[in-house]
């Protein structure tokens, strides 16, 4: 089995690798600390599974997954995140992810997720299945303004709501300050919110932060 792990934290990559090798001692595992490296390695091997962190430097994990689906649509991608499933799982699955697990639950769920994906099925926990049901119900109730945001806009919205400065967000996402300011304006307009304080209140009410 050939597995590519993308995460910007060495300790996380090492931990995931140890978990996998304990169950699959003969597995061939490569690592990537950033999106650009992951995409380069994508072209060098025929991978059985790609495990990709949502929060990668530069391009987000969701953007990386979109590129993977364009360049190698048959390779299943398991999304990994420090964020609870309700924040990103539905977005990841809509883009074609074969599963979503949190870093907190990786020690318990990673091998089961790999086995499920190897069997050609998506790894969807009961919690995520319930969220999918709720998502369909929300289509008929226009009460979730943040779901109108693109994946990048959602990332920026979350960071603004957490109180991060525009310059810090720009640095984290490898974008210009003007670009982040444009995103902020677009986000406030789409969500019909007037300022950062109200955005933070909304994010707290919805459990986004």
> Residue 205: what pLDDT?
84
Read off the pLDDT of residues 76-133 as tens digits, 9 standing for 90 and up.
999 988 876 677 788 888 888 999 888 888 889 999 999 999 999 999 887 777 777 6
Both 129 and 154 in a single domain? no
In this model, does residue 138 exceed pLDDT 60?
A: no
pLDDT digits (tens, 9 = 90+) for 148-195: 888 889 889 999 999 999 999 998 888 899 999 999 999 999 898 989
Domain that holds residue 117: 2-136
**Whether 79 and 168 share a structural domain:** no
Question: Are residues 107 and 35 located together in one domain of the fold?
Answer: yes
Res. 146 pLDDT band, cuts 50 70 90: confident
59 and 117, same domain (yes or no): yes
Q: Phi then psi for 45, rounded to 5 degrees?
A: -140, 165
Q: What is the pLDDT, as a whole number, of residue 135?
A: 63
Q: Distance from CA of residue 76 to its chain's centroid?
A: 14
Domain stops at, among 115, 136, 157: 136
Per the structure, the count of domains in the chain is 2
Residues 79 and 159 in one domain: no
Could you give the dihedral angle defined by the CA atoms of residues 36, 38, 42 and 44, in that order, rounded to the nearest 10 degrees?
A: 90
The per-residue pLDDT for 137 is 54
Regarding whether 132 and 175 lie in a shared domain, the answer is no
pLDDT of residue 104: 86
Q: Beta strands 99-102 and 77-81: pairing type?
A: parallel
Contacts of 165 (CB under 8 A, 6+ apart): none
Give me the CATH number covering residue 31.
3.40.50.2300
- Choosing from 93, 109, 136, the residue where a domain stops is 136
pLDDT of 14-66, one tens digit each?
Answer: 999 999 999 999 999 999 998 889 999 999 989 999 999 988 877 788 888 88
- Same domain (yes/no): 20, 115: yes
pLDDT at 141 over 60: no
Q: Based on the domain organization, do 50 and 104 belong to the same domain?
A: yes
pLDDT of residue 110: 95
On whether both 37 and 130 belong to a single domain, the answer is: yes
**39 and 82 co-located in one domain:** yes
What is the pLDDT, as a whole number, of residue 142?
53
Helices and strands, number each (H, E), in the chain: 10, 5
- Among the candidates 109, 136, 163, a domain finishes at 136
Residue 97 makes CB contacts below 8 A (sequence gap 6+) with: 65, 77, 78, 79, 122
């Amino acid at each position: 089995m050939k597995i590519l792990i993308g995460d910007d934290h060495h300790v996380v990559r090492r931990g995931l690798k140890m978990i996998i090798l304990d169950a699959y001692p003969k597995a061939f595992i490569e690592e990537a600390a950033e999106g650009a490296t992951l995409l380069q390695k994508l072209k060098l091997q025929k991978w059985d599974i790609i495990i990709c962190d949502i929060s990668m430097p530069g391009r987000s994990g969701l953007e990386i997954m979109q590129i993977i689906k364009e360049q190698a649509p048959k390779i299943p991608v398991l999304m990994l995140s420090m964020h609870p499933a309700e924040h990103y799982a539905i977005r990841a699955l809509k883009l074609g992810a074969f599963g979503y697990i949190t870093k907190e639950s990786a020690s318990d769920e990673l091998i089961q997720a790999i086995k499920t994906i190897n069997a050609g099925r998506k790894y969807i926990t009961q919690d995520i299945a319930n969220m999918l049901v709720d998502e369909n119900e929300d289509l008929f109730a226009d009460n979730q303004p943040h779901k109108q945001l693109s994946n990048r806009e959602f990332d920026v919205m979350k960071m603004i709501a957490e109180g991060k400065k525009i310059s810090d967000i720009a640095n984290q996402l490898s974008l210009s300050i003007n670009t982040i300011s444009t995103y902020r304006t677009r986000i406030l307009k789409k969500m019909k919110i007037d300022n950062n304080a109200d955005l933070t209140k909304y994010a707290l009410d919805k459990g986004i932060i």
